Structure 1
């Protein structure tokens, strides 16, 4: 019996779930592993607490030894003696060494390294298990150190410093009072061999790379098994972190290994006893179980992936076939799908798709023919519109004022005949720049700096035509000189001012000002003059011509001058490049002058090297 798609889905999901449940064993193992880790930590904590208890017991023994020394009257009388009496000092020193110190050395021959009494009066008594001369030691610094570190109430202080530098000892020190006074008169110190105390700590089995170390209340190292371990601990702030806590446990990276640190602070000595053991050694007993669990998990995963792959293929293969057929349909190839006969839902879907393709192919052919005919008509209209725009562009380039060019050439000729001067060279150079700039047909890809330079060349020629200088005031921020513009828009406006605003001649009061600014993301180029201006009727007529948004033919007014053609065509050229929302805005009053604003979107364009040189020349000027 053939299975439906829903039954196949149920069967494969059941198999995947059964194999997924088998992976629960992995999480069970992880919890068991964590429980074993905690058990190991408890064992280490117990070991370290026992070692700490033995250490405290040993230190308490030597505290009792110090009590026995303090009970001797000879010790207290020594502290009250006259320090200048050398005989009395000699008698006390020999008596205390023989009757007190030597008995203690006999009782503890290996544990004690040195015993000494430091008097406040400057006299001291030293003794140790081997010959020692008090004359070779200056106890002043040691006395001040112990005085600062021992409590005034007579309790002991346990230190890891020694009288002789380089000695590895543990010092038990306490303050001593005199025989006749309750005031502190000196300090008793017993230095214990660290090696003897280490026997208490080295009996703990910490594995191959584990070690035991002790820190004092300030985090300094009291004991470490080797010099390398001491230096490694000193490089880190591990000591301070352990000393500031109570019973702590954390993981620290040392010598490239993750170490488990377990510490315990002694209430008696204030020391922190710590054990450091590599995590990999702690978890070595369960590594075999971990490997087995990982292997079983991987096998389970592989089986589950295999079944999932088979299940996915049974679904995805026919869907992929449908997808490929749809891709061919997108390309316009209406091809039916050929596949094995299926009785499930996907088989019915493929059959419905083939039926849809056969019906739609006929409809698409009819729609395609209709659309093709429509596109041909649109293409023809676009070609006509493109030709119209090309014609308008060419007409714009041909509308450069030939009268101006002819008068300029005639003026150059007159200069050449009448006088031999540099004016001819200046005018020819300016004329060459203007012609080269004017004959380019691309309306875009020019900047405000290019247009200002074109106006400058025009003014060079105009200066020689009118016979005196006429300066145009340009107030443009340097940051706007690279703003994009339409070619041949600024110079025709200036020329229009000379033809109409100053038609009756130039006077000293006349001026032309070019200003630029940004307003709501638009570049505004403002050209102002104080010429004759326009009447309201003439201004209204000019504005209507601008509103028509059309290029106009040449119209000649009285005197052979063009009547507003330059302004209208500049307005239309800006609209051709940037859209109908931009162009010219004109305000004028009769007898007061005219204000023309060129509105364009603000965009910055890069300059070529010659164009950049022109901008720099204008800035220096």
Structure 2
């Protein structure tokens, strides 16, 4: 299908008119849905993170409040100074620590180191308390004396230097709540308290805030250490995301940002003892999953609709353009010479009216052209056949053969050669069944004619045939070149002065047109007569086939050549006549032989067999 055809343009226009708005609609819907889902998800997750922050803050405050109960026990501070000698005081300290352990869910162990007595105590839910004398508190609690309260980031659980028990879980991850116990109102530190808190309690609070399979939730301290994560491999590690670290250490308390192909919603927990940041990471694949599902549904609907549209477009375009293609086919057949084409179209719409009018027009053309000009051609053909029939070809050929034999007997071969040439010329001209011949046949006929003329004029005549090899097998109407050359001998040749010259050349142009040029050095055509001749030739080329042709016999010969070329050639034929400097005439013929090749295939093979020249043989002669 050619792009410039009406059908292809109509299909392209209808497809663009339907698919472009459809694709734009899907794209705009997808973008709008993404933004809407993003806004909804952002609002929902902000509320979730805020609620999670409140719950986690309350949980940490409960631990803080539980540790403050030591100050409400009036005997606790006194007991710190009595141990380890007073066993009753030791028991009361243990009871106070046991109360804290049982008050808040999720506490794994409590470690207490009395600075004055050097007594370290470890309390766990599963075993009896452990005690021993130490000059210094356990290393992990050192450095927290200067803080009233502080939280140590997530780390592996340990027994604070006590021998491990069967219930110890060294691989369990905990965070530690540190408190220094002072002798209020003084700032003297009486003891260091460390409360290990299991992450299970944090998980109970945070697991309701995110989907473990698709989302991620982090609790990070102000130093960038992961306190809690849904992925165990991240617990206690350092955050490397620069954007995330900037948000943690920044002054903004809540908000969101996009990083690493995910939307991050964060909320800071600001308490007197720590500043944690709760971050929820929602990958774009999860965030826009509903948008993709909706887009996939729309795309599926669009594909179905597009299939229906394409089918409808093709059906409509074919229905519209089929009459045009049909009419074009009829025109091509008429152009090739089939003027009696049966034009039929059974529709009752505008195309039916068009075909009816076209059929009526062709009927008129057949009546005006086929009847008149084919009848005229038939009459001229009948006249020619009648003249040819007056001479018995067999009698003439036999007579010439007898004269030739007599010439050979009398040792005059030149006369025999001339008679043979004359016989071939007559045989060629009387082949009535050959409408089209090859350029090779026509050139051979002209050569024989020129040989006879050369016998007449001797050295006063030279001729040259310069025919391109690829033109020899091209078809053309019979008896075209000889009448044009004959005009030279009748009207142009100088019989008393300079030597006569005739030159014929041919070549194929790139557009498939056979060009034949005939030049002579005879007398030039008078300017007025040449102008009139060119005007009449232009009228012939434009289809003005009037019966009257002003001029002498030479011009009538040119007219007949052009008329026969137009009658037998399916495409355009051009003829140009011009004077040469300082003397001479050039006649140029341009014949489009594209469709004539198929018409002449059989005759071409016959011509090759008759002349003995192959299709690739160079045909160049000079005499």
TM-score, length-normalised on structure 1?
Answer: 0.41
TM-score, length-normalised on structure 2?
Answer: 0.41
Structure whose CA Rg is larger:
2
